[in-house]
Chain A
Amino acid sequence: MILSIALKEFYNNLVSARFTIGFLLCLFLVPFALFVSINDYKGQVRAYETERKQAEESAKVRVYSALRPEIVKPPEPLSIFSRGVSYNVGSEVKVLLGEKPFLSTGRSAVRENPFFNSFFSLDFVSILAAIISLLALLFTYDSCSGEREQGTLKLMLSNSVGRYKILLGKVIGVCLALLPVVLFCYLLGALVILFSPDVSFSPGEWVRICVLFALSVLFFGLFMLVGLFISTRFRSSAVSIVVCLFVWVVFVFIVPNLSVYMARSLIKVSSQESLRSALSDLDREYGEKCKGYRTNLAQPDVWMHWNYTVRYDGFQELYGSSRSLMEFYRQLNQFSEPLRIDYADKKWAFQKAYLESLDRQRTFAENLALISPSEVFRLAASALCRTDAESHYRFLERTRSYRDEFISFLNNKKIFSSFEYFTRQPQETFMTGDEIIKTRTGGEFETMREFGKWSQAHNGDFSPLWRVDIPGTSPNEYQPLDLSQMPKFRWEQASIWGSLKNSLGKVAVMAGVLIVLFYLSFISFIRYDVR
């Protein structure tokens, strides 16, 4: 009996205009959403290739002070299905001594045209969530109220058939009509993925897509029962459709914005500028300590930096300076670089507090969004697709532990107390200041004092110093460092179970709500006045 009701419902649904329009909507929107996402993904891959190349280039350094590994996270192919936060956060982390990896940066966080950030774009999962929830509601809103209006409900009940059978038959009928549509969306998606040359999924990723499909079915079922429940609560189908549609707009369009907006205004996150100013206070303190140490060191004979490059985070490369200046820097680094690492830990306290406030805001928004099943679905989907915030945290956590490995590698080499930290010029070839002046000026001046006097008399002219070049004092004469001993960055993605663990509770609640809804609709259908 249930079956024949289900079949009747199925045929009814199949020939209805809503089925045609809904099906066409899916047929048009799903491939398009995927197409856009694949396009975005290709852009990410391109950005990744450039960034990786740059990272490789930047690893070709001559001195250890310039060695600051850049880590680039490859784009996530599953972001085609669920984008999550992967497009807001960057994918590049530079491992510094003076600061722990904080937030990732990089090109992928900024679109090629920064103005495009003001256009939001929906991914496959959001479009699917919007459409299948709409379809589920549109197919169920009149299942009771509509049949009552037509009078067919009374007719049906005049037969010897239990009300629960009718309800079950209707549910199965709608499922029969719409589950193929959901399946069709996924098959279409799979086809698009299979036939696009730039994307390839591993078997593990296909498994995740299958789980995503199961989630969608659950989500679809939930909205179907919402529609059914609303339909059994109202006597007129015109009213139940209005209620259904408002429920849909609130769940799909208002709650996502509302939750984030409320989180933003209720959970305070101080500005990055104030964080930066706290950090630069520490930097200043660090600078003061280094300065104090500097004045107590034996001063060099001459402050002449022949070939000198200096940048942030301790990078300095120096060639052709006097022996005592080299020794001065060696001793300074021996003090300043370990101190820099200590200061990174002090800075981290502030940075951690900032990150925690960001996370509090996010957790608040996500918890508030749990009111809406479509948000639960999206959150679970992004966890499944490894594009949620937690997956990104794991990556950043890993870069922090890699920084520790990198520092212990440097410490093991005792690099901070060696000349190799800032120069490749062999120690034996260091000269005194006078020797340098004499060689460079071709013997015209014997000492620095002599040259200084001459230069002052000639309005600070340095040009005699370019007369004779000293070999080995130009950085271009040296090959990049051999870094085969350096620890490599390795990163394991979370297992499918690990990704699902966090969202399991939410999904279980969704399933629970589904059962409760079915029970409620059953009760209210039993009491439904069919006249």
Chain B
Amino acid sequence: MVLNIIQREIRHHILSLRLHITLLLTLTIFGLGTIAFVKSHSEEQAEYTKYHTEFIEQSRKAAESNLTKLAVKRQNLVLEPRGDAFITDSKEKYLPNRFDFSGYNVFGFDIRPGSANPYLNTFQELNWVFIVSIIISFTVLLFTFDTVSGEKEAKTLAATLSNPVSRGALLFGKYLSMIITTLLVLAPGMALSLIILLISGAVAITPVVAGEIIGFLVSVFFLVACIAAFGILSSVLTRNANISLLVALTLWLVFVVIVPNTAVFWARRLFPIEKVETVWERISREREEINRNAPKGSWSSSGDNPFLPQHELRANNQTNLMNSQMKILNAYYGEMFRQYERARMLTFLSPLSVFEYMSEAVVGGGYVRFQKVWRDLHAWQTQFLAYFKEVDAKDPDSPHWYNPYEDYSTTRKGVSFEQVPVFKEKSLPLRERISYASLYLLITVLYTALAFVLSFVLFLRYDVR
């Protein structure tokens, strides 16, 4: 019986105008979005390759002339454009995406200047996640808002229920058919997008990317299930299809506009963090304190003589300055991370935001990528410093006074660049992706279950006359 209902419903959907419009719209956006992605991705990749080659070349030059020069060199790590960004870019252009480090420390992060044109409005890229979270979610609500109230108005609900079919089966059949239809609508667009990608050859569809696409499909399935449940809920809440529509639209506005747009406002109120000015005031107070206590002559230097006694004083002083600054800054960064994570938790109220985070975890981009690089960079820096000290220890011409900002009092010999540990970004391991994604999945399932059970209960009591 459920099968019959599903068949009937799907046939009904496929003939409907809304499906045709959605199909047209998704195909257009998938096509345009992918073409734009292919073009900008290859350009970004070329820019990145140029930048990265230069970066490596400079490191090589520094290492081969004087290892200390490389160790104290303040460098910027820029993230490579992701090939799977056609699924989701996870707003990486707006998140911190540049890291400031040397061999002695990882100093901080910022948003790369020029990663977004300041004169353009902030915008979402037309990738798969955008299409699903805006167009598909909207269509699903448009398809479902009148499942019950619409049939009641058309008087077909009473007729259907006069057959030997339970209300639960009817509702479930309608629900399943909705999910299937939506996935059917999505399929041609995704296929088009993949064909464009394959023809252009901008992105290689490796097994990893294929796996990500499958993960994305799983998240889409759960999202559609969730939104459809909300749509059905809005249709059983009222006896009139027009009002159901309003309820559904309001829900959509809440999910798409209100929840994500107000997260920052609430996060600032609820989880305030120290102001950046006061952090820097504290740092400069500590600096002054350290400089005051430093022995006289700490700042004198002479480039010719590594063993100048002042070099040791200054090395100690500079190390103290760095350590005190980084202690304060790292605590502050930790606060920032926590505040942001909590702000994200506030947006868990919207299944669409949860879906965005789930896709972010699936492709290992955005904030999870940032955290991974941040951790790995610290690990690399420790490893590099250990290597540097090992090389320095072997040099008889070095006094081994480690100064994080100057190259006077440690080894001045070059090494072959091949032996120097170089930072390489590793993509997020599968296990971590799954563990992040499963949290979001759980939340989505919870919402779905809640909405569906509620609509089921309401439907059992629904007056079909």
Q: Which of A's residues lie within 8 Å of B, judged by CB? A: 17-18, 21-22, 25, 29, 32, 35-36, 39, 50, 85, 88-89, 103, 107, 109-122, 127, 130, 134, 138, 238-239, 241-243, 245-246, 249-250, 253-254, 256-258, 260-266, 268-275, 277, 358-359, 361-362, 365, 389, 392, 459-463, 466
B34-42, B319-327, B433-441 - the one binding chain A: B34-42
Chain B residues in 8 Å Cβ range of A389? 119
- Interface contacts beyond A29-B258, A138-B246: sample of 18 additional A-B pairs, CB < 8 Å, sorted by A: A17-B242, A21-B247, A36-B261, A89-B119, A112-B276, A114-B336, A115-B339, A118-B95, A121-B262, A249-B134, A257-B126, A261-B33, A262-B36, A264-B117, A272-B114, A273-B51, A362-B117, A462-B300
Question: Mask for B68-90, Cβ within 8 A of A = 1, else 0?
Answer: 00000000001000000000000
- Can you list 30 pairs linking A and B with CB atoms under 8 Å apart? A17-B240, A25-B253, A29-B258, A85-B119, A88-B116, A112-B275, A113-B336, A114-B96, A114-B109, A115-B96, A115-B336, A117-B122, A121-B261, A242-B21, A253-B134, A254-B29, A257-B125, A260-B121, A261-B33, A261-B125, A271-B114, A272-B114, A273-B47, A273-B51, A273-B114, A358-B119, A361-B117, A460-B309, A462-B300, A462-B310
The contact string, 1 if C-beta is below 8 Å from chain A, for chain B 139-164, is: 00010001000100000000000000
Q: How many residues of B contact A (CB 8 A)?
A: 87
Kindly state whether residue B386 has any CB partner on chain A within 8 Å: no
Query: Secondary structure of the B side of the interface?
Result: helix
Q: Which residue of A lies closest to B266 (CB)?
A: A36
| Measured CA separation A162–B94 after assembly (Å) | 57
B111 touches which of A17, A114, A271 (Cβ 8 Å): A114
Known contacts: A50-B277, A359-B119. The answer to whether A254 contacts B135 by CB under 8 A is yes
In the assembled complex, the Cα of A158 lies from the Cα of B143 at a distance in Å of 36
Question: Which B residues contact A (CB, under 8 angstroms)?
Answer: 17-18, 21-22, 25, 29, 32-33, 36-37, 39-40, 43, 47, 50-51, 54, 78, 91, 94-96, 109-114, 116-126, 130, 134-135, 138, 142, 146, 150, 240, 242-243, 245-247, 249-250, 253, 256-258, 260-265, 267-268, 273, 275-277, 296-297, 300, 302, 305, 307-310, 336-337, 339-340, 343, 347, 366-367
* Alpha-carbon separation in the docked complex, A323 to B56 (Å): 45
Contacts of A120 in B (CB 8 A): 122, 124, 260-261
In angstroms, how far is the closest chain B Cβ from the Cβ of A114? 5
In the bound complex, CA of A311 to CA of B29 (Å): 51
Known: A116-B343, A241-B245. A130 touches B257 (CB 8 A): yes
Measured CA separation A277–B260 after assembly (Å): 38
> What is the distance, in angstroms, from A16's C-beta to the closest C-beta of chain B?
8
Contact partners of B260 in chain A: CB under 8 A: 119-120
B310 to chain A, nearest CB (A): 7
Q: A249–B135 contact, CB under 8 A?
A: yes
B contact residues around A25 at 8 Å (CB) = 250, 253
- If over half of A's interface residues share one DSSP class (helix, strand or loop), that class is named, otherwise mixed; here it is helix
Report B243 CB to chain A, min CB distance, Å: 5
9 smallest CB-CB distances across A and B, nearest first, come from: A272-B114, A265-B40, A265-B36, A115-B340, A260-B123, A389-B119, A118-B91, A117-B94, A460-B308
- Residues of A contacting B339 with CB < 8 Å? 113, 115
Inter-chain contact A250/B25, CB cutoff 8 Å: yes
Contacts known (A88-B116, A115-B367, A119-B264); A17 close to B243, Cβ less than 8 A? yes
Q: Which residue of B lies closest to A24 (CB)?
A: B250
Give Cα A266 to B43, complex, Å. Answer: 10
Q: Is A270's CB under 8 angstroms from B47's CB?
A: yes
Q: Which residues in A have their C-beta under 8 angstroms from that of B22?
A: 246
Partner of B120, one of A249, A260, A275, A463: A260
Docked CA distance A466–B308 (Å): 17
CB distance from A530 to the nearest CB of B (A): 21
Most chain A beta-carbon contacts within 10 A, residue among B43, B112, B117, B339? B117
The residue on B at minimum CB distance from A18 is B246
Known contacts A256-B123, A358-B117, A459-B308; decide if A134 and B297 are in contact (CB<8 Å): no
Most chain B CB neighbours (cut-off 10 Å) among A130, A245, A265: A265
Q: Report the minimum CB–CB distance from B32 to chain A (whole Å).
A: 7
Q: Which B residues are in CB contact (< 8 Å) with A130?
A: 253, 257
Selected contact of B47 from candidates A122, A249, A271, CB within 8 Å: A271
Q: Is the CB of B119 within 8 A of A392?
A: yes
Distance from B96 Cβ to chain A, minimum over Cβ atoms (Å): 5
**Chain B residues whose CB sits within 8 angstroms of the CB of A269 once the complex forms:** 114, 117
Chain A, Cβ-Cβ closest to B92: A118
**How many whole Å from A319's CB to the nearest CB in chain B?**
15
Asked if B264 and A121 sit within 8 Å, CB to CB, the answer is: yes
Pairwise interchain contact A274-B47, C-beta atoms closer than 8 A: yes
Question: For residue A256, which residues in chain B have a CB less than 8 angstroms away from its CB?
Answer: 121, 123
The docked-state distance in angstroms from the alpha carbon of A355 to that of B32 is 27
Q: Is the Cβ of A242 less than 8 Å from the Cβ of B120? A: no
Which single member of A22, A116, A359 contacts B264 (CB below 8 Å)?
Answer: A116
Residues in B with CB closer than 8 Å to A264 are 36, 40, 117, 120
Q: A50-B277, A113-B339, A122-B257 are in contact. Are A266 and B36 (CB under 8 A)?
A: yes
Nearest CB of A to B30, in Å: 12
Contact check: which of A103, A268, A459 meets B307 at CB < 8 Å?
Answer: A459
Partner of B142 from A21, A117, A245, A272 at Cβ < 8 Å: A245
Q: Which residue of A29, A109, A134, A239 contacts B118 across the interface (Cβ within 8 Å)?
A: A109
| Residue from A50, A115, A116, A272 within 8 A of B113 (CB atoms) | A272
